Amino acid sequence: MRRLRRSMLFVPGNNPGMIRDAYIYGSDSIMFDLEDSVSIHEKDAARFLVYNALTTIDYGDKELVVRINDLGSGLGLADLEAIVRARPDVIRLPKTDSAEDVLQCEREIARIEREAGIPLGQTGMMAAIETANGVLHAYEIATSSKRLIGIALGAEDYVTDLKTVRSDGTELFFARNMILNAARAAQIDAVDTVFSDVNDEEGFLAEARLIKQLGFNGKSVLNPRQIAPLHAVFMPSEKDLAKARAVVEALEEAKQRGSGVASLNGKMIDKPVAMRAQYLIELAEAGKPATMGEGV
């Protein structure tokens, strides 16, 4: 089954309490941060902590992502040296402005994989686009590497670059559409930015509905409290779900008949309809209480 990325929980790399049990909150992905949430004095400690967490803690089936410092900061390479060896699913690059940023990082990852005896290409990548320049190069970035599983919008730096501030999302409209369209053209995922005011539940919900309608796969979240409402937004309605189930059943039936063409209520089911139905069912499955499975 394809991996859902409705929620990517942000965990500061210098917070052992959160790192230890970040898997209990039910997010699809966990993103350990070595970048902006870690002060310059704690970079080494956070890197060490995240490395050890990844190599000792059982995070179950969560997708594990580590946001490194950018290579230009002088910290990024040390981050890669440690973290790639801990075998996370994905390395997230901050402040990606060009394909070259991705490729430069990919070369280092490949080298470390070879040195550490990790199958080449196992480490996925994700690029966060956080500048006006980056947004203009979104497609070039999205198609730069086979390792990329998605691109993301980092809105805080981006609005500063635009000389504005965040409001109802009007200011992000162009960037969101650029990134989303680039991701879809490259057939990878698109992940939206964080919503910083964790106490503004209404504002968060409005933004979640907006980005779902635009077509994003999901959002980064700052606080575990944002996960359940976000997943609820992505939960298909009973009506849509029933339709999707009927589509899948019709497809199954056609397959058993040995027929390549399936139809429902007299209408042929074409490929996009079939894909959308499958995606809705996956979302619904993921929406079940899955935070605590049988057998812990």
Partner 1 sequence: MEWDINAIPHINEIPAQHGVFTGASAKILHTFNERMHKDNKIVGSLREAIERSGLQDGMTISFHHHFRNGDYIVNMVVDELAGMGFKNLALAASSLTDVHEALIPHIQNGVITHIETSGLRGGLAEAISDGLMDFPVVFRSHGGRAAAIESEELHIDVAFLGAPSCDPYGNANGYNREEENGSCCGSMGYAKLDALYADTTIILTDHIVGFPNAPFGIPESNVDFIVCVDSVGDPKGIMSGATRFTKNPKELLIAKTAADVIEKSGYFYDGFSMQMGSGGASLATARFLREKMLSSKIKARFALGGITGQIVEMHEEGLVEKILDVQSFDLVAANSLKNNRFHQQIDASFYASYSNEGAAVNQLDFVVLSALEIDTQFNVNVLTGSNGRIRGAIGGHPDAAAGASLSVIVAPLTRGRIPSIVHKVNTVVTPGSTVDVVVTDQGVAVNPLRGELAKRLRDNGIPLCTIEQLQKKAESIVGDPEPIHYSEAIVGVAMARSNSIIDVIRRVREA
3 binds partner 1 (CB under 8 A): no
**Binding track over 12-31 against partner 1, x by CB under 8 A:** -----x--xx--xx------
Which of 76, 169, 218, 224 is close enough to bind partner 1 by CB under 8 A? Answer: 224
Q: Which two tokens stand for residue 9?
A: 């929980």
- Residue closer to partner 1 by CB (options 116, 290) is 290
**Binding track over 84-123 against partner 1, x by CB under 8 A:** ----------------------------------------
CB of 64 to partner 1, least distance (A): 17
Which of 15, 37, 181, 223 is close enough to bind partner 1 by CB under 8 A? Answer: 223
The DSSP output letter for 189 is E
61 binds partner 1 (CB under 8 A): no
CB of 52 to partner 1, least distance (A): 13
Binding segment for partner 1 (CB under 8 A), chosen from 95-103, 123-131, 149-157, 218-226, is 218-226
**Which residues, in sequence order, are bridge partners of residue 33?**
12, 67
Q: Which two tokens stand for residue 57?
A: 């803690």
Binding segment for partner 1 (CB under 8 A), chosen from 32-40, 159-167, 229-237, 286-294, is 286-294
Burial 8-26 (b: 16+ CB within 10 A, else e): bbbbbbbbeebbeebbebb
Window 227-266: residues binding partner 1 (CB under 8 A):
228
Which of 107, 225, 255, 257 is close enough to bind partner 1 by CB under 8 A? Answer: 225
Q: How far apart are CA 46 and CA 79, in angstroms?
A: 10
Other beta carbons less than 10 A from residue 189's beta carbon: 22
Binding site for partner 1 (CB under 8 A): 17, 20-21, 24-25, 57-58, 223-225, 228, 288-289, 291-296
